[in-house]
Structure 1
Amino acid sequence: MTVLSLLGLVAAGFVAALVGYVTGLASLVSYPALLAFGLNPLAANVTNTVALVASGIGSFAKSGRDLTADDGGRSLIKSAVVALAGGAVGAALLLLAPAEAFAYVVPYLVALAAIALLLQPYLRQWFDRGVDRPFLWAFAVFAVSIYGGYFGAGAGVVFVACAMLLTELPLWKSVLLKSALLGVANAVAAVGFMIFGPVDWVAALAMGIGCLLGGWMGPPVVARLPATPLRIAIGIAGLGLAVWLGFSS
């Protein structure tokens, strides 16, 4: 790759991580960028997963203590273990299953999460009445982490929606939690891809530098944005992504 190409990947990684932290749509920026720089779809997918690990590292290094302050990090550790297991399953599916395995269901899943996020104040009243939220949260983390390890476009939207419905966290903490858990799912998937997948290490390193910087910048940006407009913006972006995924699958 030329120096200009490498700088382009750094810039794409920065934008992807910042957009991904705010909206949960990082792969919508980073994956097409890797394709544009000449990687084939499988190499772009696994390289994207490896690069995006840096985004989670950056955001957690900046504001991770906000997630661990209440109970010393015990809840985060439990969720991270579930996310790790889901990410491992997702990576195995990508390497072993047909590429079309999730193509049909994913647009509907993302659309459902986007609608849930838009209707969160109303749905939360129902979830507050007799629903086993800890169990549903663990199940949601596992399921979304499988998809995150497999491909992940829209996984952030689903994570934020689940956190807003099934935990007591405000939006900015839900976004931070989403970034941390997707980082775990991506990290365990990345380990598998490093061993068995066709990772383009030059592209992964260049994009990873940008992702680290973008992830570091994400928490202060979200902390300054008003919660309700941000929630609506993420929901609308998620619906747009669902339509895009539906037509591109």
Structure 2
Amino acid sequence: MTGLASLVSYPALLYFGGLPPVAANVVNKASLTFNSLGSFFSSLRELRGHWKELFKVMIVIFFGGITGAILLTKLPASSFTHVVPFFIAFGGIMILIPTKKPLNGNTEGALNFNPAAGGNRRTWVKSLIMIILTFAIGAYSGYFGAASGILLLVLLTRTSNNEYAVSNAIRNVAMGASNIVATIYYALYAHVDWSLVVPLGIGFFIGGYIGPKIVRVVPATFLKILTGILALILAYTQFVAAYHINLF
């Protein structure tokens, strides 16, 4: 529904699973694959007519996810500790700002990288920027992932005329590309605690299947406000944890 699953499951793995940060992140990414799978089966109605758009987003997210997964095995997960609160806050603020029209005038969906349609340098530049941003989100997702779903949802909702439920469905399924490639890489080059992946994955699958059905009937404005508020609250908690500064 909101793209905030990791901000609940990741701390749970740290505090209740007793895992160190990198191991918890690996288990979380592997489990999230089931979330995307559940969302896929539940979102077939929203994805109908948007398969080409979904494929484009997934391809870029896939290669971004590879980059992020490699970085995770080379750098400590704590590298992002101090910037994560700002990523989350940015996503929360952007989802709360009303969307008047796509940033690139796109009426066919996000990542409409088709220069022939526009035929000018401006179209190329805007499409390239969107691809770079999507790749960066995929890399961030493969590396750490907190609020990556919100960031992709913001990009999708602000660069196309798709309904919120459609953008949310594309986001949910596309993020699976990053999770799958990261899981494969971790399985080959890192240790994955599958005993924790299985129960968490089952919960994610159920939640991923139910979420789109709720989005289908709940007003988009309410969901955006809820997502934005929750993101800002979680951004604050992450800020306190990272900087040990309590503003209230």
The bucket for the TM-score relative to the shorter chain is: 0.7 to 0.9
Q: Does residue 47 of structure 1 match 2:27?
A: yes
The one-letter code of the counterpart of 1:89 is: T
1:33-182 matches, cutoff 5 A: 33-35=12-14, 36-64=16-44, 66-67=46-47, 69-70=48-49, 73-121=51-99, 124=101, 128=105, 133-182=126-175
More helix by share: 1
Give the unaligned 5+ runs of structure 1. Answer: 1-21
Q: Distance in 2 between matches of 1:41 and 1:98?
A: 9
2:236 maps to which of 230, 243, 246:
243
What's the offset of the Cα at 1:101? 2.6
The one-letter code of the counterpart of 2:164 is: L
**Aligned CA-pair RMSD:** 2.0
The verdict on how the C-alpha distance between 1:160 and 1:64 changes in structure 2, with shifts beyond 3 A counting, is same
Scaled by the length of structure 2, what TM-score is found?
0.84
What's the offset of the Cα at 1:126? 6.0
What's the offset of the Cα at 1:133? 4.7
Give the unaligned 5+ runs of structure 2. Answer: 107-121, 243-248
| Paired-residue identity, % | 36
What's the offset of the Cα at 1:97? 1.4
| Contact persistence 1:95–1:197 (CA under 8 A) | yes
| Contact persistence 2:91–2:147 (CA under 8 A) | no
The one-letter code of the counterpart of 2:17 is: F
What's the offset of the Cα at 1:140? 2.1
Q: Distance in 2 between matches of 1:221 and 1:133?
A: 33
What's the offset of the Cα at 1:245? 2.1
The one-letter code of the counterpart of 2:163 is: P
Q: Distance in 2 between matches of 1:127 and 1:234?
A: 24
Q: Distance in 1 between matches of 2:93 and 2:222?
A: 15
State the secondary structure of the residue aligned to 2:176: helix
The verdict on how the C-alpha distance between 1:82 and 1:168 changes in structure 2, with shifts beyond 3 A counting, is same
- Alignment length, in residue pairs? 225
2:214 maps to which of 213, 221, 231:
221
Scaled by the length of structure 1, what TM-score is found?
0.83
